[in-house]
């Protein structure tokens, strides 16, 4: 039987430590040539509302002896502004509902194994990336987190930081006071650590070992003038997931987990772009600030400072060499490599726990050769 696994089941069976462990293995497998993926691809089409776009996004990958998975998203995207902060919003059908699915198959037989709602798993895999970056790049005695944002990503990132460092204090800011206070109350109860609610953005940096921008902002949120020596920086969202040039100038070590490989026989298509967009009416301007019209998504932003997971595996570069260095980490365009690993593990755990809704596998099979 093929399983349909919803977000409630994923939240019950998948732990953050599970997620970190399978992602690290997936990155090692990719570096060894045992796994493969492609960059995220978006199809963008104007809607009748000139400030909204339909966007279909996919990313896929698989590993030898493991699973293949494709993650699929169907979104209406647009931007809003609140108290001077511009953010990207999305929905499917109506605001507050979303459509994201992961289709998992067995690479030995091709059998469809599961369809998984991507909401919880998506937050888990991004938070785990933050944890992996902190594990390898932050100072080992890091205890204080400066958190920008108070939503789902801010929650899973803190969960991941707790797995890899002895975190004792979080300083949190987000534009909406009620949201940052609710986050503080929840995280205090969950992790039994000190949570300080900051009324000013700049206060989260003071004395922090780790600075995490975990927002849906359409523009970069890390303030270079506030960074302190020795901090490790993470930025999720913030205008395509990259920090400003002023921040890049302050970074000493840039840990990028890797790049998706080129197609066979087409080495010139070895692209490091975070995503590739194909657009109907390419001249159409939605007024979005999160990406430059006609421009590409960021790739290897700091080539003179970069090291990869492969470098750490081989011992050719261990990253931070001083407690005073400012470090930065990001995944690279390896989303497809993540989903087969994390979704495969979620499928295993759900099956072991006898959770999920069974769907006859024969519904997905046919006797007409395609």
Q: Which is higher by pLDDT, 295 or 20? A: 20
Question: Class assignment of domain 2-121+336-364?
Answer: alpha beta
Question: pLDDT band for position 201 (50/70/90)?
Answer: very high
β 35-37/53-63 pair status: antiparallel
Q: Is the pLDDT of residue 85 over 70?
A: no
Q: How far apart are CA 147 and CA 171, in angstroms?
A: 6
Mean pLDDT computed over 332-339 = 94
What's the pLDDT score for residue 298?
81
Question: Which is the CATH superfamily of the domain at 127-264+298-333?
Answer: NAD(P)-binding Rossmann-like Domain (3.40.50.720)
Alpha helices in the chain (DSSP H): 7-13, 16-32, 119-137, 152-164, 177-191, 245-250, 309-314, 335-352
Dump pLDDT digits (tens) for 256-313: 999 999 999 989 888 888 889 999 988 888 877 555 566 778 888 899 999 999 998 8
What's the pLDDT score for residue 296?
77
- The domain limits of the chain are 2-121+336-364, 127-264+298-333
Beta carbons of 202 and 227 less than 8 angstroms apart: no
- In percent, the amount of the chain with pLDDT more than 70 equals 95
Q: Is the pLDDT of residue 239 over 60?
A: no
Q: How far apart are CA 137 and CA 133, in angstroms?
A: 6
Beta carbons of 1 and 332 less than 8 angstroms apart: no
Mean pLDDT computed over 140-148 = 97
What's the pLDDT score for residue 319?
81
60 burial via Cβ count (<10 Å: 0-12, 13-18, 19+):
buried
What's the pLDDT score for residue 221?
87
């Amino acid at each position: 039987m093929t399983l349909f696994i919803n977000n409630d089941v994923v939240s019950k069976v998948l732990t953050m430590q599970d997620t970190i462990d399978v992602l690290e293995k997936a990155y090692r497998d990719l570096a060894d040539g045992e796994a493969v993926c492609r960059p995220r691809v978006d199809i963008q089409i104007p809607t009748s509302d000139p400030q909204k776009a339909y966007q279909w996004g996919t990313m896929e990958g698989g590993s030898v002896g493991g699973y293949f998975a494709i993650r699929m998203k169907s979104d209406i995207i647009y931007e809003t502004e609140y108290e001077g902060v511009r953010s990207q919003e999305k929905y499917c059908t109506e605001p507050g509902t979303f459509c994201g699915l992961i289709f998992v198959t067995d690479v030995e037989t091709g059998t469809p194994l599961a369809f998984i709602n991507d909401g919880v798993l998506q937050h888990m895999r991004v938070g785990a990336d933050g944890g992996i970056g902190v594990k390898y790049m932050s100072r080992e005695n890091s205890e204080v987190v400066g958190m920008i944002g108070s939503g789902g990503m801010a929650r899973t990132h803190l969960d991941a930081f707790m797995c890899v460092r002895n975190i004792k204090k979080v300083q949190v800011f987000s534009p909406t006071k009620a949201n940052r206070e609710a986050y503080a109350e929840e995280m205090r109860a969950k992790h039994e650590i000190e949570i300080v609610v900051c009324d000013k953005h700049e206060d989260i940096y003071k004395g922090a070992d780790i600075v995490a921008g975990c927002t849906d902002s359409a523009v970069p949120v890390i303030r270079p003038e506030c960074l302190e020596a020795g901090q490790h920086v993470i930025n999720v969202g913030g205008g395509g997931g990259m920090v400003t040039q002023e921040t890049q100038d302050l970074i000493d070590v840039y840990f990028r987990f890797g790049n998706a490989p080129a197609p066979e026989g087409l080495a010139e298509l070895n692209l490091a772009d975070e995503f590739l967009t194909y657009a109907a009416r390419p001249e159409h301007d939605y007024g979005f600030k999160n990406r430059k019209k006609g421009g590409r998504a960021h790739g290897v932003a700091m080539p003179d400072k970069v090291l990869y997971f492969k470098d750490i595996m081989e011992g050719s570069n261990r990253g931070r060499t001083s407690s005073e260095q400012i470090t930065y980490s990001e995944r690279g365009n390896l989303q497809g490599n993540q989903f087969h690993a994390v979704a495969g593990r979620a499928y295993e755990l759900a099956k072991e726990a006898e959770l999920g809704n069974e769907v006859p596998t024969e519904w997905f099979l046919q006797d007409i050769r395609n």
